[in-house]
Structure 1
Amino acid sequence: MEALAVRLSQLDAQVEGAIRVVMFYDTLMRRRVDLPALARASAGLAECVAGIRLHATGRSIRRAPDGGEVPGPAAPASSTVPVVLDEEDIGAVWLERPGTPLPLDEVLLDRLAIAAAAVVERYGPARTTMADPALVELAVSAGTEEAARARALRLLGFAADAPLQAVAVRSPLPLDRIGGLLCPSRPVKAAPLADAGIVLAVTVDRAELPSGVRAGIGTAGRPDLSWRQARTALRFTTERRPVVAHAELGALALLAEVPAETVRANADVQAIARLAEVPQDLRTLEAYCATGSLRRAADLLHLHHSSVARRLDLIGRALGFDLTEPAGLSRAALALTAWRLPDG
């Protein structure tokens, strides 16, 4: 150490300063700080505003020398360096120094860029289940460019070419718990998105979902197509059938493409809506359509089959067709399914 101290004392001030900057960032990386902490430390060291932005999220982290967030739009950058991970440009770091850049600004930004890439590599594919909703939305949106989608997936911890399943969830339970149940042993990410929660995983174990959770499972390998399928499947879930995979829908999925106003205008759907005003009748029809059998429906409802038969006779008269005929049963099941769809 004494020999190193002697050698350092013989170097000029600029080189010594550069070494101190390198040591500063080495210390930060050993402490495993996150991106906001990196920006704060860099701003304090540079004595001017420092910023970090990742292309995948589009969000900027800007900190003042006192460590506080900087309000308002960003000032012109005095110096900028790209953040590179696996030979790919994933973002940028910069300083907003008034006037001319200082000699050590370039060294500082180089080390900040390296540290930022290390943070992304460490925490981007984080072991935590919950993810940035903006990043997840970028990964599953239909309009996302493929290069941006690949970056987003990598930051989430998935290989860009890995087949993924998206699950649309409505649940009273926290999303991170749902994600852990659906995929306990593989990388899984969850986030609130639109009017539902989304879970992204390589494989999904639907058997582990607890009661009270409704889930639609997309079966396409592409995350954008899988998410669209998952939202469609979620619309077909019911109290008796809380988990639906899109592949199970078959031709029924075509109903989701029918405009809501067209569905509501249908006479059979309107008849089901009137029937739904009497919950007992609706439950009876649902049980009969689900089982296709008078006796199995009676078992499901814990009623005598003669009682169910009387109810179905009255319901058939209200609907205007015979429920005991195969065509009538199919018609009722289709109308019941279509009635649920407009509001998901």
Structure 2
Amino acid sequence: MEVLAKRLSHLDSQVEGALRVVMFYDTLMRRRVDLPALARASAGLAECVAGFRLHGTGRSVRVSPDGTPAPTPPSPASSTAPITLDDEEIGAVWLERPGPANPLDEVLLDRLAIAAAVVVERYGPARTTMADPALVELVISADSDEAARARALRLLGFAAALPVRVAAVRSPLPLDRVAGLVCPGRPVKAAPLGDVGVVLATGVDATRFPAGTRAGIGAAESPDRSWREARTALRFTTPRRPVVHHDDLGALALLAQVPPEVARDNADVAAVARVAANPEDLETLDAYCATGSLRRAAEVLHLHHSSVSRRLDQLGKALGVELTDPTGLVRARLALTAWRLLDD
């Protein structure tokens, strides 16, 4: 290559420069550098800020010519090029050159993009749990076509043959930590979406969610449907039942489709709302509805069963139902659940 470069340099100095750029990146590839090193070398060669971004992880790096992180806010890119792997765009590289572009910038970016694709293919998807929210949203959106969804899943590192489950999470802990706990040793990606965290995984261990976390887990194989199920299941979580599988809801899931104004106008739901003004009454009603037994409710509340019996008598009168009757218990459970859904 060096001999060829010397011969061509007599014909055109720009050709010589282009060949030297190619040789520069060939050397970097032989040294098996990683992406940050590739960016640093490119910034030094271009004598301006160079950067790259991977769509699958949202990872972005900008480097100054001296090899240090580039200052923020970033300057407008003077030239860009896509990082392409197997005919799919997986990211982008760019230069932030003040003033006019250098004649060799196009060649430099082309070789940088090729080198970046080689590095990504060599080392595989990034081992980080957090993902680009836009890419995750593409996976779970009902408006995405199947080709776009499949491409997004691939960029996130999920094999085409693997089913992907979705969990909707609210937690005081960092989302990546939660995702790592419930999906050990399995492909998993997570991203915030509004006030809810989205976890994509090939399998979710519901027993590993940390304390203080609430989660709804979808069951459908299609990620968009699994997401809808997960959001619904999340609405049914309570302090006593912080993790809910959509499959476990059965016909109860239909309550999530009741319009809020219809639920509020229901006499049983309105009665529960009045009872809920007293935390002690609400706790008693919740314990009894959850256990279906006066004695088990007393154990949960750490009270004597006679005390719980008196409370239930008072609650039954306030609700207008006989709580010890099977029909009354069903009405109370449905009303309590419908009332909770109003707060979501």
Alignment map for 1:196-275 (pairs within 5 Å): 196-275=196-275
1:108-140 per-position Cα deviation (integer Å, ceiling 9, x unaligned) = 233122123235446772212122222222222
Answer with 16-25 or 324-333: which moved more. Answer: 16-25
Contact 1:236 1:341 in 2 (8 A): yes
Contact 1:216 1:230 in 2 (8 A): yes
TM-score normalised to structure 2 length: 0.83
1:45-65 per-position Cα deviation (integer Å, ceiling 9, x unaligned) = 446787767677999988897
Distance (Å, rounded) in 2 between the aligned partners of 1:332 and 1:279: 16
User: What does residue 20 of structure 2 align with?
Assistant: 20
Contact 2:56 2:135 in 1 (8 A): yes
With over 3 angstroms needed to count, the CA separation of the structure-2 counterparts of 1:28 and 1:252, relative to structure 1, is farther
User: What does residue 330 of structure 2 align with?
Assistant: 330
- Find 1:31's aligned residue among 30, 33, 39: 33
Answer with 232-241 or 10-19: which moved more. Answer: 10-19
SS at match of 1:168: strand
Distance (Å, rounded) in 2 between the aligned partners of 1:9 and 1:127: 43
User: What does residue 189 of structure 1 align with?
Assistant: 189
Answer with 256-265 or 45-54: which moved more. Answer: 45-54
Contact 1:38 1:116 in 2 (8 A): yes
Partner AA of 2:33 in structure 1: R
Alignment length (residue pairs): 335
Contact 1:125 1:158 in 2 (8 A): no
Distance (Å, rounded) in 1 between the aligned partners of 2:314 and 2:101: 86
Deviation at 1:31, TM superposition (A): 2.6
1:152-197 per-position Cα deviation (integer Å, ceiling 9, x unaligned) = 2112111245311111111122222211111101111122221111
Answer with 273-282 or 51-60: which moved more. Answer: 51-60
User: What does residue 318 of structure 1 align with?
Assistant: 318
Percent identity of paired positions between Structure 1 and Structure 2: 71
Contact 1:40 1:68 in 2 (8 A): no
Deviation at 1:324, TM superposition (A): 0.9
User: What does residue 117 of structure 1 align with?
Assistant: 117
Distance (Å, rounded) in 2 between the aligned partners of 1:269 and 1:20: 76
SS at match of 1:216: strand
TM-score normalised to structure 1 length: 0.83
Deviation at 1:17, TM superposition (A): 2.7
Contact 1:323 1:332 in 2 (8 A): yes
User: What does residue 133 of structure 2 align with?
Assistant: 133
Partner AA of 2:148 in structure 1: A
Deviation at 1:261, TM superposition (A): 2.2
SS at match of 2:215: strand
Distance (Å, rounded) in 2 between the aligned partners of 1:91 and 1:127: 16
Alignment map for 1:70-109 (pairs within 5 Å): 82-90=82-90, 102=103, 104-109=104-109
User: What does residue 153 of structure 2 align with?
Assistant: 153
SS at match of 1:324: coil
User: What does residue 303 of structure 2 align with?
Assistant: 303
Answer with 266-275 or 127-136: which moved more. Answer: 127-136
Contact 1:49 1:96 in 2 (8 A): yes
With over 3 angstroms needed to count, the CA separation of the structure-2 counterparts of 1:39 and 1:302, relative to structure 1, is same
**Structure 1: any 5+ residue segments left out of the alignment?**
none
Distance (Å, rounded) in 2 between the aligned partners of 1:117 and 1:49: 20
Distance (Å, rounded) in 1 between the aligned partners of 2:210 and 2:52: 41
